[in-house]
């Protein structure tokens, strides 16, 4: 008998609530056997607010649990998703997706495809519009963010750093995944898997500048170039990023990435 297929996600409440309705409906259509969301926030929220947010996930059929901390080094994914995987039967399967990622697969057949392989691999495809705006739950995401591809290459932004585009969409629970970014399997060997699927990446929205502030592999130069492209180079997140890099430089005596100081001086606040 084929194992059950489970879905789990570390959902970023601070940045991705505008995607929730689209995201929840998208993954519920696949008919997985269980759905779990670990709700992450770094904001001070009242008990009432946290209960209301959790109730939204409950209405969409997700078992939801709050978690706290920083995404900066990827440790939260390990703390939430690895114990989740380890508690599931070894012959079951675990599907994982970030809260701004949409697996581009056929809901009618994808579950059977997962159960026919050891793991399923995907590839991030950026989706963006003309401006950095919140997602409207009433309109299809494809209409709101019609451009697809590698944003850096398509827009000619040499300075914009992109993370590893490879993603592990699903795997047998007996196999460990590197959950820091869900980019690779822990074991280094050839796995039985189908062709690579697209993972539509709807990160180019109004929350992206603040999100970039908290990630080391995005430099102030990356943020500046992105904001210039979207006509928002006066965004307050840039100064926040510059101040954070100044703190790192004072603490470490250097900045972890080359060319960090390519942001024009006029963007700096004295």
CA-CA distance, 120 to 52, in Å (whole number)? Answer: 34
The pLDDT-based confidence of 22 (bands split at 50, 70, 90) is very high
The secondary structure element, H or E, covering residue 179 is: none
Percentage of the chain exceeding pLDDT 70: 78
Torsion angles phi and psi, residue 74, rounded to 5: 75, 5
Residues of the chain by 3-state class (helix, strand, coil), percent to 5: 35, 20, 45
Q: Is the pLDDT of residue 269 over 60?
A: no
| CATH fold label, 5-201 | Spore Coat Polysaccharide Biosynthesis Protein SpsA; Chain A (3.90.550)
Q: Tokens representing 51?
A: 């209960």
Q: Which residue has the tokens 């705006």?
A: 133
Could you read off the pLDDT of 79-133 as tens digits, one per residue? 888 889 999 999 999 999 999 999 999 999 999 999 999 889 899 999 999 999 9
Q: Which residues contact 201 (CB under 8 A, 6 or more apart)?
A: 100, 101, 124, 125, 126, 127
Q: Which residues contact 175 (CB under 8 A, 6 or more apart)?
A: 118, 119, 185, 186, 187, 191
Torsion angles phi and psi, residue 81, rounded to 5: -80, -35
Domain range annotation of the chain: 5-201, 208-267
105 touches 170 (CB < 8 A)? no
Output the pLDDT for position 258.
42
Output the pLDDT for position 270.
35
Instruction: Please give the full DSSP string across 194-225, using - where no structure is assigned.
Output: -SPEEEEE---STTHHHHHHT-TTS-HHHHHH
Burial class (CB in 10 A: 0-12, 13-18, 19+), 249: middle
Output the pLDDT for position 252.
59
49 touches 74 (CB < 8 A)? no
Q: Is the pLDDT of residue 134 over 70?
A: yes
The pLDDT-based confidence of 232 (bands split at 50, 70, 90) is confident
Higher pLDDT: 71 or 262? It is 71
Could you read off the pLDDT of 26-84 as tens digits, one per residue? 999 999 999 999 998 888 888 999 999 999 999 999 999 998 776 554 567 778 888 89
Q: Which alpha helices (H) appear in the chain, and where do they start and end?
A: 13-16, 20-28, 47-59, 75-87, 110-115, 141-144, 151-155, 208-213, 220-229, 236-252
Higher pLDDT: 32 or 187? It is 32
Output the pLDDT for position 268.
42
Output the pLDDT for position 159.
58
Helix axes 220-229, 236-252, angle to 10 degrees: 170
Counts of helices then strands in the chain (DSSP H, E): 10, 11
Percentage of the chain exceeding pLDDT 90: 47
Burial class (CB in 10 A: 0-12, 13-18, 19+), 79: middle
Mean pLDDT of the chain: 83
Exposure string over 206-244, b if 16+ CB within 10 A, otherwise e: bbbbebbbbbeebbbbbbbbbbebbeebebebbbbbbee
The pLDDT-based confidence of 245 (bands split at 50, 70, 90) is confident
């Amino acid at each position: 008998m084929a194992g059950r297929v489970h879905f789990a996600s570390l959902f970023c409440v601070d940045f991705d609530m505008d995607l929730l309705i689209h995201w929840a409906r998208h993954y519920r259509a696949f008919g997985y056997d269980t759905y779990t969301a670990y709700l992450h926030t770094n904001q001070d929220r009242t008990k009432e607010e946290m209960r209301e947010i959790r109730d939204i996930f409950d209405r969409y059929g997700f078992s939801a649990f709050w978690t706290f901390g920083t995404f900066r080094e990827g440790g939260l994914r390990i703390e939430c998703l690895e114990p989740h995987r380890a508690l599931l039967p070894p012959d079951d399967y675990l599907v994982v997706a970030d809260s701004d990622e949409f697996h581009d697969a056929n809901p009618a057949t994808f579950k059977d495809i997962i159960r026919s392989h050891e793991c399923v691999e995907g590839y991030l495809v950026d989706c963006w519009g003309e401006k950095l705006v919140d997602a409207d739950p009433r309109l299809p995401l494809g209409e709101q963010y019609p451009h697809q591809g590698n944003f850096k290459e398509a827009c000619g932004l040499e300075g914009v750093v992109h993370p590893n585009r490879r993603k592990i969409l699903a795997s047998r629970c007996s196999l460990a995944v590197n959950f820091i970014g869900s980019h690779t399997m822990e074991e280094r060997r050839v796995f039985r898997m189908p062709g690579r699927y697209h993972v539509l990446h709807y990160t180019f929205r109004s929350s992206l500048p603040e999100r970039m502030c908290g990630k080391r592999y995005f430099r102030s130069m990356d943020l500046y170039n992105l904001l210039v492209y979207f006509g928002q180079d006066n965004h307050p997140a840039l100064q926040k990023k510059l101040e954070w890099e100044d703190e790192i430089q004072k603490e470490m005596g250097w900045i972890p990435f080359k060319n960090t100081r390519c942001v024009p001086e006029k963007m700096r606040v004295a």
